[in-house]
Amino acid sequence: MVGVASGAVYQLLNTFFVARLGAAPTAAVVLMTPVMLSCTVVAQVFGVGVSSVAARCLGRGDARSASQVASASLLVGFAVSTCIALVAMALIPVGLSALLGAGPDVIGYMIEYAVPALLGQAAMSFCIISGFVVRLEGRNRLSMATQLVGFGCNALFDVVLIWILGLGVVGAGLGTLISQLAAAGVYLWSFQRRRATLAVGLVVPRWRAWVPALLTGAPTGLGLVLSNAVLAEILRASVTLSVEVASSVGIGLRVYTVACQLAVGFVLGAQGLLGYWIGKRAAGKTRSVIAWLVAYAFAVSCLISLAMSLFPAEISSVFSPAGSPNPRLGEVLRILALSVPGIGLVQVAITVFQSAGRLALTYILVLMRSGIFVPILFLLRGPGSSAPDIAWNLAANDITAGLFGALSIGASLLFVRWFIRSRLMVASDAES
């Protein structure tokens, strides 16, 4: 769970420190969120794909094929993510910042923040895929320890670089870069010890061994791309109102993202276990895992939603330069809290279908999860004239997705039962 939520937590940590610098620097960091997350989309795609494909290989007792898939996915995913980061670095000064809605008082901060932060996102992509691999092997403590090392380094260097040395947003970006390089070093050290089930980096990846992982993780990639597009549209609509509104909406969305990832992090982390039992065609174990995932996701998401509803003033004061509550941000958090439970349920359904290799059904749920209704609401009723109005558009989308997710849970249980009983699993990957 810690590993899955790490990306959003790093973004939130930077926002916490930058918020003390004023509205314009905060808006710059917030408006960069879609770009930052886009750099890790490929990593999430390959990470989720490795969890499903390699787990099914291990379930059949084929550790070498699993190692081939993991090694190839790690190399290709990191290379592509790095290329995306470099392209984004080149485009920010020549028009991408304006396209994201940044005004003249914000663009300069975005350019300063972009270079080190995007390089840090490339390193984070390596860590994300590596985290999926080690969790698949059951080395959850290593994954958690590595993420805590990165988080601790980020917090430490943010204090030193932003406050003590006075580097501002540049310091926030450098903190991200240094922390991710430290975390990547831990993973590289682990892979070289040769004490794991998967020989990651120690075998020559078979050509096209990464394709099964790419195909399996593609729905996740589509969902992240659409989510980033919706996020960019929400932020662009908010910045047209004022920099203060954009700052409140952006911080609220970052808190909401972390809340959702904490609610579904265990679900995503258990995808390898679910794929393993599906690979062994163990109907009872598969149903038990799904039941536990439903119970966990719903219980944790309800607790998080309750905390956001009861303590919006306390949460908003954490991101206030003066340490006082921000009523606008508090109202945004209270609205978004309503939809956290729905996100937990729909993610369980997505995980079940994806682990089973049923991609068509996964795509349907991903489209609902990714905010596909937000642009429609913008067209029908407009984005609104305040931060709460804008937040209601996203909340309405995610509540609707949650209702479909609740219905899909029952359908997914029936699907898995039929799937194992009829033995019709024909995976669209190299294992077939």
Alpha-carbon dihedral of residues 349, 351, 353, 359, nearest 10 degrees? 120
Rounded to the nearest angstrom, the gap between the alpha carbon of residue 432 and the centroid of all alpha carbons in its chain is 29
Give pLDDT, residue 7.
Answer: 54
Instruction: Report yes or no on 366 lying in a domain.
Output: yes
Residues 174 and 14 sit within 8 Å (Cβ to Cβ): no
Provide the 10 A C-beta neighbour count for residue 141.
9
Instruction: Report yes or no on 428 lying in a domain.
Output: no
Instruction: Report yes or no on 112 lying in a domain.
Output: yes
Give pLDDT, residue 397.
Answer: 82
Residues 218 and 359 sit within 8 Å (Cβ to Cβ): yes
**Domain span including residue 394:** 2-422
Give pLDDT, residue 425.
Answer: 40
Give pLDDT, residue 61.
Answer: 75
Those residues with Cβ within 8 angstroms of residue 301's Cβ, 6 or more apart along the chain or in another chain: 260, 263, 264, 340, 341, 343, 344, 345
Give pLDDT, residue 135.
Answer: 80
Instruction: Report yes or no on 334 lying in a domain.
Output: yes
Q: Fill in the amino acid letter for 306.
A: L
Instruction: Report yes or no on 168 lying in a domain.
Output: yes
Give pLDDT, residue 430.
Answer: 39
Report DSSP letters for 181-223, one per residue: HHHHHHHHHHHHT--SSS-TTTS-PPTTTTHHHHHHHHHHHHH
Distance CA 312, CA 334 (A): 6
In a structure prediction context, what are the per-residue pLDDT tens digits for the chain, which is 432 residues long?
554 555 556 667 777 788 778 878 888 888 888 888 888 888 888 888 887 788 777 777 777 777 788 888 888 889 999 999 999 989 988 878 877 777 788 888 888 888 899 999 999 999 888 888 888 777 778 887 888 888 888 888 888 998 888 888 899 889 889 999 999 998 888 887 765 556 665 455 565 777 878 887 777 787 778 887 888 878 888 877 887 788 888 888 888 888 887 777 777 667 667 767 776 767 677 778 888 888 888 888 899 999 999 998 888 888 876 667 788 888 889 999 998 888 888 888 888 777 766 667 777 778 777 777 777 777 666 666 678 888 888 888 888 888 887 787 776 666 555 554 433 343 333 333
Note if the pTM is more than 0.85: no
Domain count along the chain:
1
Distance CA 391, CA 383 (A): 9
Instruction: Report yes or no on 431 lying in a domain.
Output: no
Give pLDDT, residue 82.
Answer: 92
Instruction: Report yes or no on 282 lying in a domain.
Output: yes
Instruction: Report yes or no on 182 lying in a domain.
Output: yes
